[in-house]
Amino acid sequence: MSSAHSAVPTAGSAPSPSSTSSTVSSSASAAGAAPTIAELLEFVRRTARNEALIASLPLDPEGRTWIRLDGPGGSEAWLIGWPPGTGTGWHDHADSIGAFTTAAGALKEHSLAVRLPTDGWRTLELTDGVDRSRELATGQGRAFGQNHVHEVLNESEDVHAVSVHAYYPPLPRIRRFSRTGAVLRLEQTENPGDWQ
């Protein structure tokens, strides 16, 4: 892995912390309580407005880059750079809630309005009407609940995007999927040891 914290852009690897990662302080939830979805969304929006932090992220034309952040109430948070034409691939965040905001450029999110079975399946045929798409320009974000299935893309041909993400509890696993038409296939399950 390079010193620019890059990841393979098409594999959608979860960012990995490094010894040079920066931290951003956040106001913790009351008395150590778990942060709410609204608090995660407020954190990513506030952090996305931190111009000095956004400018500190090294950008790589070949792969995504990241800095681990100090999220609210013990959440896992990341500042991520997206070269033109990169994306995560289809994935979920298991039992974690989360939020993300575009800090520079624009991102597109494709998501599924369906709750997938947690275990015991490899292939699933999706019904009509479950697909959702949204453009997230600079300053726009969204929050999501547990088992949210999506892919995030920088569809620009020439402009990097930067985003801020937060998850609580810290990601217990990520399931990665492939999709052909209406068929979603579970390809891999990653655990924290795979990205930390």
Amino acid at 135: E
CA distance 80 to 59: 9
Per-residue tens of pLDDT for the chain, all 196 residues = 233 333 322 233 334 333 233 334 444 444 578 999 999 999 999 999 999 999 999 999 999 999 999 999 999 999 999 999 999 999 999 889 999 999 999 999 999 998 888 778 899 999 999 999 999 999 999 999 998 999 999 999 999 999 999 999 999 999 999 999 999 999 999 988 776 6
The DSSP result for the chain, as a single string, is --TT--B-TTTTPPP---TT------PPPGGGPPPPHHHHHHHHHHHHT-HHHHHHS---SSSBEEEEEE-GGG-EEEEEEE-TT-B--EE--TT-EEEEEEEESEEEEEEESSPPPSSS-SEEEPPTT-EEEEEEETT-EEEE-TT-EEEEE---SS--EEEEEEEESPPS-EEEEEEETTEEEEEEEE-GGGT-
Amino acid at 41: L
Q: What is the pLDDT of residue 119?
A: 76
C-alpha distances out from residue 113 to 54, 93, 163, 178, 183, Å: 31, 15, 23, 17, 15
Q: What is the pLDDT of residue 121?
A: 87
pTM of the model: 0.82
CA distance 147 to 71: 20
Q: What is the pLDDT of residue 147?
A: 83
Q: What is the pLDDT of residue 115?
A: 84
Q: What is the pLDDT of residue 46?
A: 98
* Diameter over CA atoms, the chain: 47
